[in-house]
Structure 1
Amino acid sequence: MRKPTPLRLAPAAAVAAALVLTACGGSGTDDAASTIVRSTTNVAGAGVLGNDRDTENVCGPTAPVDTDGVAGSVRKVVHAAGETEVPADPQRIVVLDTDKLDTVCALGLQDRLVGAAVTGAVGAQPEYLGATIAGVEPVGTVQEPNFEKIAALQPDLILGSEFRTPEAYERLSAIAPTTFTEKVGLTWKDNLVLDGTALGRGASARQVLDEYETAAVETGKSLNSSETQASVVRFMPGVIRIYGPDSFSGQVLADAGVQRPTFQRLEGAQDRRFAEISEETLPNAEGDVIYVSFYGDEARGQGVDVMNGDLWQGLGAVKDRRVFTVDDEIWMTGIGVIAANGILDDLEASLNGYAN
C-alpha cells in the first residue's frame, strides 16, 4: 500500500510474464519477477493481484491535532445531520462504515478504535487494513449497527453515515457525539475530509488526499494509462455488475487517467455508479483489460462458474490473458484513501503491459 510508505511493485510486464508462467506451471529465477511468479495464483484463468500486499505497515503515523476551531476541549463540526460538538482529540472511536475505518487508519488513530461495523457478506474487519484493525470489536453491520454494543464501549466519538442508517442518528447521538456523512462512494474525498475534521485532523486528511491525487496522476503518466480502456466487473450473490465513472473504483481509475469502455461510461444514465448485466450481455464487460472482484464467498463461487463459461471465455481480454481478479475490500468496499492507493498499486502491477 502507498500509506504510510509508497510500495513500488514489479513492472507490469514482469507480472504479465509471471501470470503466463504460473498458468503453464513454469518456474522462475531468483529475481523480483520470480517472486511474483511464486505469489500469484489463478482464478478461472485470471491472474490475481495483491497477494504480496503489505498489510503490516498500512496505517499511517498518528497525525497531529488541528489547532483551529477548538473551543476548550471541543470543536463544532457541521455534517449531514446537523452541527455537533465533538472532542477536540477523541480517544475512544466507533465507526459505522468502511470508509471511516480506512480514514482512521490513514490518520494513524487505529489504536483508538473501540468498535467498527462490518459488511454483511464478509462479517469481519477488512483484511487490507492489517492486524490492528482485524482485532477491532464488531458492532453490528453497516446497515444494522448494534446500539447496545456501541453504548457498552463508551465511545467519545461515533462516525456514521446518513446513507446507511438515516434513522439512527438520534439514538447514536444519545450515546456519544456523532457526525454523519451524507453519501457513500461518490463523495469519498469529501467524506475523508469531513471525517478527518471530526477526528480533529482535517488538515492531515487534506494532506493525505493531496498525496493520493498526486500519486494517481504520476501513476497514470508512468503507465500511459490514457491508451487503455479498463473494465470493472463485480460478482455479487445472484448479480453481475459493471462499475461506472461515479463509483469509487471508477473515480480512482479516472484520477489515474485510465479510460473506460463506451458502455461502462454509463452516459445518460441516472445512476452512473454501476449497472447490472446478465450472462447473456457479458460482452458489455469487455475492455482492453478487465478487473474482477467478488463480494463474499457465495459470489465468488457464482462468478467462477460464469468465468468458466463460453460467453466469458469468448471475450477478447480473456483470450489475451488481460483479466485480473482484485480484492473487493479495496476496489469496492474500502472507499477510502488507503484503498484508493491500493488500486493504484494494482494498476502498476497490471496495466502497463496492456497499454501498448
Structure 2
Amino acid sequence: MISNSLRRRRAAALATVVAGALALTACGSDSDSGTTKEKKDAKAAEKRTLKTVMGDVQVIAEPQRVVVLDTAELDSVMTLGVKPVGTTRTDSATGFPAHLPADQLKDVKLVGEMTTPNLEAIAALKPDLILTSKLRHGDKYAELKKIAPTVMTESTGLPWKENFLVHAEALNKQDEAKKTVADYTAHVAEVTKALGGKEKAAATEVNMVRFVEGADIRIYGKENYIGTVLADVGLGRPAVTDKAEDGFMLNVSPEKINMADADVIFHSTIGDPKKAKATEVLGGPVWKNLAAVKAGKVFSVQDELWIQGIGYSGADKILDELQAALTK
C-alpha cells in the first residue's frame, strides 16, 4: 500500500515535470514564432522576374512600399488592397482622385505632378516598387530604376484592363485581381439589364464631351478608357465617334459643338470652365438646340473620374452613375 507521504512526493515530482514541459513548450513556441516570422520575411524578400516593356525586372515577392505615378496605377493598387506610400498629384482639391476613399489616402505622400514627379521625394520614401507607364515616364526610367524596381506598362487609358493585370502581378495579387474582374463583369451585366437589356442599350447612342482649358473641345471616341466602359455596357455610339483621330477623340470648336449631339450626352471640364469654353458653350444657342439637351438627357460628370479614373474602382462608380442617369 502506498503511503500518503509517497503519494505527495510523486504528485510533487509530476507537477515539476509538467511545469518543465510547459516551460519548454512555451520556449519552443517563441522559437517557432521567431522562426516563422523569419521565414515569412525571407519569403517576402524573394525575387520574382517580371517581363515588362522595359525588359525583365526583379521584384520582391511582397512589395510593401509602393509608389505610383499616375491615376491608373493608384486605382489599381487601391483596388487590390495595397496602400501606396506615395503618388503624384491630381487636379482635385486634396491632390487625390475623389472616387477613392479619402480616409485610406490621408497618409500617402504626394511626390510632385504626374508629368513632373519629384525623384528626390520618391527616393526619400524608400520604395520597393514603382508603378507607372512608358507613355508617362519612359524618359525617366533610368533614374527611377536606380531608386527601386520600376514596372512600366506601354501606355495608359485604353489598355487599362491589361495594365491592371500587370500591376497585380507586380504586387503578387493575382487572386485578388481575378475577383475584381469577376465582380466588375457581374456589375456590367446588372447595369445592362437595368437599362432594358442589350438591344435597348445598343439603341441608345451616348457621347462623352470634355471641355479642356487651353485646348479645343473634345468628343471622345471608342478607343479610350471611358469608351471601353460604355462598350462593356453595350451602349450605342453616334457616327461622329468614328471620326475620332486614332479612335481616341475629335477636337471641335464651340461653333461645331452640334457634332456632339446624341441621345445622351455626358460632359466634364478640366481647368477653369470659362477658359475651357464650357461656360460659353453650355449657355449658348447651339448647345441649347441639341436634341439631347431638349430631351433633358445631358449630364455633367466629374472629369477626374470619367476621364482620369482609369481603373476598376473608377469604372464601378461610372457604372453606378450611368445606371442612375439612364434610368431616370
User: Which of the five TM-score ranges fits, normalised by the shorter chain?
Assistant: 0.7 to 0.9
Deviations along 1:55-111, one digit per CA (max 9) or x if unpaired, are xxxxxxxxxxxxxxx89622111111111111211111100111010011111112x
Q: Using the TM superposition, give the Cα deviation of residue 136 of structure 1 relative to its aligned residue in structure 2, in angstroms.
A: 1.9
Counterpart among 35, 42, 52 of residue 79 in structure 1: 52
Q: Using the TM superposition, give the Cα deviation of residue 352 of structure 1 relative to its aligned residue in structure 2, in angstroms.
A: 2.3
Q: Using the TM superposition, give the Cα deviation of residue 270 of structure 1 relative to its aligned residue in structure 2, in angstroms.
A: 4.9
CA–CA separation in structure 1 for the residues paired with 2:170 and 2:95: 25
Contact 2:129 2:150 in 1 (8 A): yes
CA gap 1:184/1:83 in 2 versus in 1, 3 angstroms = same
2:183 corresponding residue in structure 1: 211
Counterpart among 218, 226, 243 of residue 202 in structure 2: 226
Contact 2:123 2:147 in 1 (8 A): yes
CA–CA separation in structure 1 for the residues paired with 2:123 and 2:324: 44
1:325 corresponding residue in structure 2: 300
Contact 1:193 1:202 in 2 (8 A): yes
CA–CA separation in structure 1 for the residues paired with 2:310 and 2:323: 19
Counterpart among 220, 225, 236 of residue 212 in structure 2: 236
Trace 1:133-152 onto structure 2 (pairs within 5 A). Answer: 133-152=105-124
Supply the RMSD in Å over aligned alpha carbons.
2.1
1:180 corresponding residue in structure 2: 152
1:91 corresponding residue in structure 2: 64
What is the TM-score of this pair, normalised by structure 1? 0.75
1:264 corresponding residue in structure 2: 241
2:75 corresponding residue in structure 1: 102
Deviations along 1:134-179, one digit per CA (max 9) or x if unpaired, are 5421111221111010001111110011001111111101001110
- Aligned identity (percent) is 40
Deviations along 1:118-139, one digit per CA (max 9) or x if unpaired, are 2368781112102122542111
CA–CA separation in structure 1 for the residues paired with 2:75 and 2:139: 24
Unaligned runs of 5+ in 1: 1-69
Counterpart among 230, 240, 262 of residue 253 in structure 1: 230
CA gap 1:120/1:324 in 2 versus in 1, 3 angstroms = closer
2:37 corresponding residue in structure 1: none
Q: Using the TM superposition, give the Cα deviation of residue 209 of structure 1 relative to its aligned residue in structure 2, in angstroms.
A: 1.8
Counterpart among 164, 170, 174 of residue 192 in structure 1: 164
Does residue 128 (structure 1) correspond to residue 99 (structure 2)? The answer is: yes
1:25 corresponding residue in structure 2: none
Q: Which has a greater percent of helix?
A: 2
Deviations along 1:166-223, one digit per CA (max 9) or x if unpaired, are 1111110100111001111111000000011101112322321232123213311220
- State the aligned residue count: 281
What is the TM-score of this pair, normalised by structure 2? 0.81
1:116 corresponding residue in structure 2: 87
CA gap 1:88/1:300 in 2 versus in 1, 3 angstroms = farther
CA–CA separation in structure 2 for the residues paired with 1:208 and 1:148: 34
Ranked by relative contact order (alpha carbons within 8 Å, sequence separation 6 or more), the top structure is 1
2:29 corresponding residue in structure 1: none
